[in-house]
């Protein structure tokens, strides 16, 4: 007689398997750009419109995002994809989402955009070295110096 497995354990294992095997609806790929936010955004707009020939549905240069339509394999209707460029802590990140396509397609899209940026703008500008603390003692502003005695002594 085979040992029985509790139904709740089977249900939990099935849920875990589905979570691992099923593609995430919210999946997106991110990357790091060595260029400014405005350079990355304008390069992305040209990449989507000119290089890939996708229709741009909505764009916002200030918020640095694009919404575009592409045709997924096996689909007759256009699918909405997004690209966001975010500046945070001195670095520029980009996020690509291409629903109904495998994640590797998002990586190909990201890598193609990063290649376009290098081709158009040349090598990225050198990063500024981190400031080293000075060996000199810090000078206090005059307002923080102790006041001289009023009697001149």
Number of domains making up the chain? 1
DSSP 153: -
Residue 32 belongs to a domain: yes
114 lies in some domain: yes
Q: Is residue 136 part of a domain?
A: no
Is 143 domain-assigned? no
Maximum alpha-carbon separation in the chain: 105
CATH number at residue 70: 3.30.310.80
Distance CA 115, CA 149 (A): 67
pLDDT band at 132 (very low <50, low <70, confident <90, very high): low
Range of the domain at 74: 26-121
For residue 148, the tally of other CB atoms under 10 A from its CB is 8
Question: Is residue 130 situated within a structural domain?
Answer: no
| In the chain, % of residues over pLDDT 70 | 65
Q: Are 40 and 117 in contact (CB under 8 A)?
A: yes
| Span 60-88, pLDDT tens digits | 999 999 999 988 777 788 889 999 999 98
User: Is 100 within the bounds of a domain?
Assistant: yes
The residues, ordered by sequence, that sit 6+ positions from 95 with a Cβ below 8 Å of its Cβ are 28, 29, 30, 82, 83, 84, 86
The tens digit of pLDDT for each residue in 90-120 reads: 899 999 999 988 899 999 999 999 999 999 9
Task: Judge whether 37 lies within some domain.
Answer: yes
153 domain residue, yes or no: no
């Amino acid at each position: 007689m085979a040992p029985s497995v509790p139904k709740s354990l089977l249900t939990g294992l099935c849920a875990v398997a589905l979570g691992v095997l099923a593609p995430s609806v919210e999946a997106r790929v991110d990357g790091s750009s060595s260029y400014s936010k405005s350079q990355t955004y304008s390069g992305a707009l040209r990449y989507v419109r000119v290089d890939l020939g996708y229709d741009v549905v909505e764009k916002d240069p200030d918020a640095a995002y694009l919404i575009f339509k592409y045709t997924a394999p096996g689909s007759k209707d256009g699918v909405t994809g997004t690209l966001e460029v975010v500046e945070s802590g001195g670095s520029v990140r980009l996020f690509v989402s291409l629903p109904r396509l495998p994640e590797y397609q998002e990586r190909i899209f990201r890598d193609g955009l990063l290649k376009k940026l290098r081709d158009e703008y040349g090598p990225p500008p050198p990063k500024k070295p981190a400031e080293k603390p000075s060996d000199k003692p810090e000078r206090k502003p005059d307002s923080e110096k102790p006041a001289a005695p009023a009697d001149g002594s």
